[in-house]
Amino acid sequence: MKPVKVGICGLGTVGGGTFNVLTTNAQNIARRAGREIIIAQVAARHANPACDTSNTDVTDDVFAVARNPDIDVLVELIGGYDVARKLVLMAIENGKHVVTANKALIAVHGEEIFAAAEAKGVSVMYEAAVAGGIPIIKAVREGLAANRINWLAGIINGTGNFILTEMRDKGRDFSDVLKEAQELGYAEADPTFDVEGIDAAHKLTILASIAYGIPLQFERCYTEGISRITREDVEYAEELGYRIKHLGISCQTERGIDLRVHPTLIPESRPIAKVDGVLNAVMANGNAVGDTLYVGAGAGAGPTASAVVADIIDLARTMEADPLARVNHLAFDRIEDEAVLPIEEVETAYYLRIPVLDQAGVLASVATILSEKGINIEAIIQKEPKEEESLAQIILLTHRILEKNMNKAIADIEALPSTVGEVTRIRVEHLS
């Protein structure tokens, strides 16, 4: 069979890793693909000293790759929204297959891109867009195809997981660990996408779409970050037998799809609670298979390049096949526009930390409010004020309740004369 000619757009961390994996492992890749895979062109604004491109056609114009008639597969690794969208659509219009690691592009513009690809009879592959080196897209889209997926839960941002791990293991403050994460290169100079959950929301949007056969709906994903988590919250969670993880959670319910990213208390006995540092992990529950867990490196040159090249190999095997015989972009032949629940309609359990004056009757007042709202208490810790402080802390775990009912209870608790400041609320999931 004739070789597959690849054009790589972007030669940064992931682009450089992809270039090196394709060249270093060329013989093994050809054996797996059944044909040779050749890097015919690279587009990059800057040279990557880790890559020997002396025998490769290099340009600084990414659109030249999309127009190049010799290219079979365009690999988009430039990131971002606008230029990447234009580049991918141009490649598709020119009859090229596309491989991308760009989760933001797929989550926000995937519907348009997939429709264009189907019209031209080409494929868009995006394994590397979610959880780096973990083959979670293939696992959910193909490996679990026999199942009705009940729920997904994932640590899908390594930066947030590193920060929470350091806070738990070393008793450090959020701001201190964030600074170190930036120095180590785990977090960007502007860490908003990582610590506020936007990056994880992009990934969860994609996972939920292929799990349930629904449209990509990033704008409907509830997103909450970890910047307000304190080391005290981490310690109290440990006392209660839980760990705090920044999770993306999606569940198919009778009322609609639950789609949310937020800090979450999970029992320390659950396997995903033990996934620490910069690792990623995704749990998927199917009605036939039960719980499954996938763990691995969620970022980095090698792990992400591994997923990119796996997609190129899949394309090399199937690009001559009838487009109707290929796996659908979002796993389902028919996409159904099922409702995504607003966060107020989501049901979960809660951890509450309430700063109060150290006086009699406070706990009773809080318990009365919760009882009036139909909220049952599972556990209570009451922390007396330290010598230098005047406030006590009441820490509660509740049973499951609709978020809108919890919102009303928190408003009433904050209105108590004995409550000083805001109530900290962290959702609790048992993942079972």
pTM of the model: 0.96
Residue 227 CA to residue 225 CA, distance in Å, equals 6
Q: Which amino acid is at 102?
A: N
Fold for 136-297, please state it: Dihydrodipicolinate Reductase; domain 2 (3.30.360)
* Phi and psi, residue 44, nearest 5°: -155, 140
**Residue 258 to residue 208: CA distance in whole angstroms:** 9
Residue 387 is predicted with a pLDDT of: 65
Confidence class for position 346, pLDDT limits 50, 70, 90: very high
Closest Cα partner for 164 from 275, 80, 66?
275
Answer for the pair 234, 167: CB distance below 8 angstroms, yes or no.
yes
Q: What is the 3-state secondary structure (H, E, C) of the chain?
A: CCCEEEEEECCCHHHHHHHHHHHHCHHHHHHHHCCCEEEEEEECCCCCCCCCCCCCEEECCHHHHHHCCCCCEEEECCCCCHHHHHHHHHHHHCCCEEEECCHHHHHHHHHHHHHHHHHHCCCEECHHHCCCCCCHHHHHHHHCCCCCEEEEEEECCHHHHHHHHHHHHHCCCHHHHHHHHHHCCCCCCCCHHHHCCHHHHHHHHHHHHHHHCCCCCHHHCEECCCCCCCHHHHHHHHHCCEEEEEEEEEEEECCEEEEEEEEEEEECCCHHHHCCCCEEEEEEEECCCEEEEEEEECCCHHHHHHHHHHHHHHHHHHCCCCHHHCCCCCCCCCCCCCCECCHHHCEEEEEEEEEEECCCCHHHHHHHHHHHCCCCEEEEEEECCCCCCCEEEEEEEECCEEHHHHHHHHHHHHCCCCECCCCEEEEECCCC
CB count in 10 Å sphere of residue 42: 27
| Domains of the chain, residue spans | 4-133+301-325, 136-297, 346-428
Q: Out of 278-287, 303-312, 388-397, pick the least confident.
A: 388-397
CATH level 3 topology of 4-133+301-325: Rossmann fold (3.40.50)
pLDDT digits (tens, 9 = 90+) for 61-71: 999 999 999 99
Question: Average pLDDT in the 215-219 region?
Answer: 96
Instruction: Identify the residue whose tokens are 């969620």.
Output: 298
Of the chain, the percentage scoring pLDDT greater than 90 comes to 92
215 or 390, greater pLDDT: 215
Confidence at residue 384, expressed as pLDDT on a 0 to 100 scale: 82
Distance CA 396, CA 367 (A): 10
Superfamily of domain 346-428: ACT domain (3.30.70.260)
Residues in the chain: 432
Report whether 226 contacts 263 (CB < 8 A): yes
Look up residue 203 and give its two tokens.
């990934």
pLDDT digits (tens, 9 = 90+) for 147-191: 999 999 999 999 999 999 999 999 999 999 999 999 998 988 899
* Dihedral angle over CA of 329, 333, 334, 335, nearest 10: -20
What average pLDDT does the structure give for the chain? 96
Terminal-to-terminal C-alpha distance of the chain = 48
Summarize pLDDT for 244-253 with one digit per residue, the tens: 999 999 999 9
Instruction: Give the range among 7-21, 288-302, 386-400 with minimum mean pLDDT.
Output: 386-400
Is 36 a residue whose pLDDT tops 90? yes
Active site residues: 203
User: How far is it, in rounded angstroms, from Cα 201 to Cα 262?
Assistant: 9
pLDDT at 388: 66
pLDDT in tens, 323-334: 888 889 999 988
Residue 302 contacts residue 133 (beta carbons within 8 Å): yes
CA distance 171 to 155: 21
How does pLDDT run across 351-392, given as a tens digit for each residue? 999 999 988 899 999 999 999 999 999 999 998 887 667 789
